[in-house]
């Protein structure tokens, strides 16, 4: 099964994908995480991407799309994956469409996690991320068991620089301008499943896993 998670930054895509990865052993492929890894390693791609990421802008397609398509060629992604944060633009969606053209329609789903903008801004203000494994927590809603320490790998929990309010607001503008049109694109092909993302994490998880037939 191939799942594509759409939704504004902070709509809960990463949290839902991580839960599914853990429960069903599906590879969770987050272009944001891959890019953050490049940034922390100081690769040429990371150096170029950082400027865009710090400003809350999308990294250009010619950098992100080949990076993602290369990742999809790895063995673990042959039969199943969850894409979190890709596609974000129409050219990215078209490139993915070509890559998935041979797959039966019933194998892939596009889940659209919808959350109001103001909730996103509040959520981002409390969001914490493990520097080592990428586990996501929230200062008040779902804090780590031990302050500042990742529940999963004992890594250090930090804030993302792009979760600062002014950057989140810019990311929302970019989302509405460049990514939201994809919802209509997928609605036309009958692939979009709308999920109300403004509910308890476990309730949301149960709903979408049932709808796509993951048990």
Give the residue numbers marked as catalytic: 13, 88, 127, 160, 171
Q: How many CA atoms lie within 13 A of 1 on its CB side?
A: 20
Tell the smallest beta-carbon distance from residue 42 to ligand AMP (Å).
Answer: 16
Q: Which two tokens stand for residue 21?
A: 């990865």
Cα 8 to Cα 168: distance, rounded to the nearest angstrom: 10
Coil, helix or strand at residue 143: coil
Min dist. Cβ of residue 80 to ligand AMP (A): 20
Question: Given the complex with ligand AMP, which of 16 and 58 has the nearer CB atom?
Answer: 58
Structure-token pair, residue 74: 């790895």
In terms of CB distance, is 118 or 146 closer to ligand AMP?
118
Shortest Å, Cβ 55 to ligand AMP: 8
Closest CA relative to residue 54, chosen from 148, 147, 175, 170: 170
Q: How many CA atoms lie within 13 A of 74 on its CB side?
A: 10
Nearer to ligand AMP, 37 or 139 (CB): 37
- Point out which residues bind ligand AMP (CB under 6 A): 9, 30-32, 35, 52-53, 56-59, 64, 85-86, 88, 92, 162, 171
CB of 213 to ligand AMP, least distance (A): 26
Q: Which of 198, 207, 200, 215 is nearest to 7 (CA)?
A: 198
Beta carbon nearer to ligand AMP, 146 or 158: 158
User: Which residue in the shown chain puts its C-beta closest to ligand AMP?
Assistant: 32
């Amino acid at each position: 099964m191939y799942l594509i998670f759409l939704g504004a930054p902070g709509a809960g895509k990463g949290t839902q994908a991580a839960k599914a990865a853990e429960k069903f052993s599906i590879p969770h492929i987050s272009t944001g995480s891959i890019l953050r890894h490049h940034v922390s390693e100081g690769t040429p791609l990371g150096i170029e991407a950082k400027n865009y990421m710090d400003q809350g802008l999308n990294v250009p397609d010619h950098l992100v799309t080949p990076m993602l398509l290369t990742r999809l060629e790895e063995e673990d992604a042959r039969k199943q994956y969850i894409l979190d944060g890709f596609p974000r633009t129409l050219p990215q969606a078209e490139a993915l469409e070509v890559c998935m053209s041979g797959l039966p329609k019933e194998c892939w789903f596009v889940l659209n996690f919808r959350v109001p903008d103001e909730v996103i801004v509040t959520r981002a203000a409390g969001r914490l991320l493990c520097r080592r494994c990428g586990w996501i927590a929230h200062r008040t809603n779902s804090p780590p068991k031990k302050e500042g320490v990742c529940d999963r790998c004992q890594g250090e929990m930090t804030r993302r620089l792009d979760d600062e309010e002014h950057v989140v607001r810019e990311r929302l503008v970019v989302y509405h301008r460049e990514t939201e049109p994809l919802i209509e694109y997928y609605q036309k092909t009958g692939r979009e499943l709308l999920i109300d993302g403004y509910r308890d994490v476990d309730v949301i998880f149960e709903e979408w896993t049932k709808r796509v037939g993951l048990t």
